């Protein structure tokens, strides 16, 4: 047993014995019969914008299966990612903590530690078999943060988020072993991607297609058990490094499909084709669940880790990827953090439901715990949104506020949503901008000067919302 295993087991032993108390138990969010424990499939896309799906207003990119998923379930209009970039967003999703409290608050190689309990670890306590297919980004090889040490029985995909930019990698992880593929990769010789890989010179095996097949295999192999599948697609993230070795755009996809003959820039065709390919495969997954007779036993949730990128030659304005929202990836305006969220559970979720319940990634863990009867002994920031899923809105707890912090660039920035109000502070020395999202979804009219009491209250939240971090201090 290595030191990482020992520290993790010691922590869990103390937690079970009641000698470590991190917070109150899961709050009562309404009556629920845990004997009905469902399978849980959580599908996460990478850099998919609020306006990239037909059911969120997209006109040109075709997403019939996801539109059907929304029609057969519930669509959230006010759901938020954990951050405006990848790693901290996924950390919030896995641990139920926002970026004021999470271990990982920015992109980098800081791993999860043994005491950072994940949704997979809690679901294992409820008897679930757990699988992760796709992109992880919360712990490198040999660290305390690899998926198999964070509650996942099975892992297939990328550990490193930069390596995940390449859709035609030379190898992928299967648990803790490297599985060689037939792609031949050229490597960057400088910069942040040095030695990690940039692009394939032969492009034979597309990682997204492998992820879909692995997900289908996991479902089939565990159809007679309760399972949790975290399917973390990399679509439609760009291969930012591909342009270092090739003048083409970085929206890698085997073909442009129905967009091939359209008079669009190549990068826009690639982006649209990636999303439609992903939509196709979500349809295959749903059909598989139906054929296996698991429809009413399975809840499927779908979201994106942050807003749309402007990378690899792609222009997010071309198809209005942020919808009507201001900003994109790396912004704390709505376009950077408000994301699609759809859930389907036949017989439990009323078809065609649309909700404006304000929720975020850190709510997913307590929702899964609520679904499965697991008590959360640790301090988290999330609230179960199961009552909203079941149409019991009178039983739904609501956040006093949501909080984000972002550390890329010269200064740190922060944002708060409090009911209809949204505040953004671009630097620690900048004045707070205030928007009323009910009247101003586009965040065009800063009304801070007209609402000093609201600003004062938000300033109190900003002071109390974070704990110190050795890795993520506020840069001023």
- Are 359 and 385 in contact by the 8 Å Cβ rule? The answer is yes
Confidence (pLDDT) at 16: 38
R_g over Cα of the chain? 21
Three-state secondary structure string covering the chain: CCHHHHHHHHHHHHHHHCCCCCCCCCCCCCCCCHHHCCEEEEEEECCCCCCCCHHHCCCCCCCHHHHHHHHCCEEECCEECCCCCHHHHHHHHHHCCCCCCCCCCCCCCCCCCCCCCCHHHHHHHCCCEEEEEEECCCCCCCCCCCHHHCCCCEEEEECCCCHHHCCCCCEEEECCEEEECCCCEECECCCCCECCCCEECCCCCCHHHHHHHHHHHHHHHCCCCCEEEEEECCCCCCCCCHHHHCCCCCCCCCCCHHHCCCCCCHHHHHHHHHHHHHHHHHHHHHHHHHHCCCHHHEEEEEEECCCCCCCCCCCCCCCCCCCCCCCCCCCCCHHHHECCEEEECCCCCCCCEEECCCEEHHHHHHHHHHHHCCCCCCCCCCCCCHHHHCCCHHHCCCCCCEEEEECCCCCCEEEEEECCEEEEECCCCCCCEEEECCCCCCCCCCCHHHCHHHHHHHHHHHHHCCCCCCCCCCCC
CA distance 4 to 65: 42
pLDDT score for 32: 52
Q: How far apart are CA 236 and CA 278, in angstroms?
A: 9
Q: What is the pLDDT of residue 195?
A: 77
- The predicted pLDDT at position 12 comes to 45
Q: Hey, what's the torsion of the CAs at 390, 393, 399, 400, to 10 degrees? A: 180
CATH architecture of the domain covering 404-464: 2-Layer Sandwich (3.30)
Q: Which of the residues in the chain have pLDDT under 70?
A: 1-35, 243-245, 247
Q: What is the pLDDT of residue 253?
A: 97
Query: Where along the chain do its domains lie?
Result: 24-399, 404-464
pTM above 0.85, yes or no: yes
Q: Per residue in 142-189, pLDDT tens?
A: 999 999 999 999 999 999 999 999 999 999 999 999 999 999 998 877
pLDDT per residue as tens digits for the range 31-43 = 456 568 999 999 9
Topology (CATH) of 24-399: Alkaline Phosphatase, subunit A (3.40.720)
Spatial contact of 320 and 371, defined as CB atoms under 8 Å apart: no
Please state the φ and ψ torsions of residue 346, each to the nearest 5 degrees.
-55, 135
**Checking DSSP bridges between strand 413-418 and strand 421-425, what pairing results, if any?**
antiparallel
Give the Cα separation of 126 and 120 in Å (integer): 10
Run of H or E residues at 185: strand 185-186
């Amino acid at each position: 047993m290595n030191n990482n295993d020992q520290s993790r087991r010691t922590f869990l032993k103390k937690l079970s014995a009641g000698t470590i108390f991190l917070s109150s138990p899961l709050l009562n969010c309404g009556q629920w019969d845990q004997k009905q424990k469902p399978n849980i499939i959580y599908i996460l896309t990478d850099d998919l914008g609020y306006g990239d799906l037909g059911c969120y207003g997209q006109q040109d990119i075709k997403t019939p299966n996801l539109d059907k998923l929304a029609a057969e379930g519930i669509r959230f209009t006010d759901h938020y990612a954990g951050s405006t970039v990848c790693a901290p967003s996924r950390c919030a999703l896995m641990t139920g903590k926002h970026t004021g409290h999470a271990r990982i608050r920015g992109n980098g190689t800081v791993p999860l530690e043994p005491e950072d309990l994940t949704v997979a670890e809690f679901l294992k306590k409820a008897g679930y078999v757990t699988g992760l297919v796709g992109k992880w980004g919360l712990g490198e090889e040999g660290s305390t943060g690899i998926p198999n040490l964070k509650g996942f029985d099975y892992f297939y995909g990328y550990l490193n988020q930069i390596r995940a930019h390449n859709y035609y990698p030379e190898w992928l992880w299967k648990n803790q072993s490297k599985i060689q593929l037939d792609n031949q990769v050229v490597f960057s010789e400088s910069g942040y991607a040095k030695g990690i890989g940039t692009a394939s010179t032969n492009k034979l095996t597309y990682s997204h297609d492998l992820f879909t097949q692995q997900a289908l295999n996991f479902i089939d192999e565990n159809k007679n058990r309760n399972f949790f599948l975290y399917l973390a697609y990399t679509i439609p993230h760009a291969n930012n490094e591909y342009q270092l070795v090739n003048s083409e755009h970085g929206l890698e996809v085997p073909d442009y499909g129905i967009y091939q003959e359209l008079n669009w820039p190549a990068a826009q065709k690639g982006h649209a084709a990636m999303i439609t390919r992903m939509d196709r495969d979500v349809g295959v997954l749903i059909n598989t669940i139906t054929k296996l007779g698991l429809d009413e036993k399975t809840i499927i949730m779908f979201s994106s880790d942050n807003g749309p990128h402007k990378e690899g030659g792609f222009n997010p304005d071309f198809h209005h990827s942020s919808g009507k929202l201001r900003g994109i990836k790396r912004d704390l305006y709505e376009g950077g953090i408000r994301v699609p969220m759809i859930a389907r559970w036949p017989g439990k979720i009323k078809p065609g439901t649309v909700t404006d319940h304000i929720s975020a990634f850190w709510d997913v863990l307590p929702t899964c715990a609520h679904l499965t009867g697991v008590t959360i002994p640790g301090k988290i920031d999330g609230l179960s949104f199961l009552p909203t899923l079941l149409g019991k809105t009178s039983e739904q707890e609501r956040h006093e506020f949501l909080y984000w912090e972002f550390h890329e660039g010269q200064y740190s920035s922060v944002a708060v949503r409090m009911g209809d109000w949204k505040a953004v502070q671009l630097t620690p020395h900048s004045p707070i901008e205030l928007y009323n999202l009910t009247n101003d979804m586009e965040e065009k009219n800063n009304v801070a000067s007209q609402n000093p009491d609201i600003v004062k209250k938000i300033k109190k939240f900003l002071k109390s919302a974070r704990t110190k971090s050795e890795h993520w201090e506020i840069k001023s």
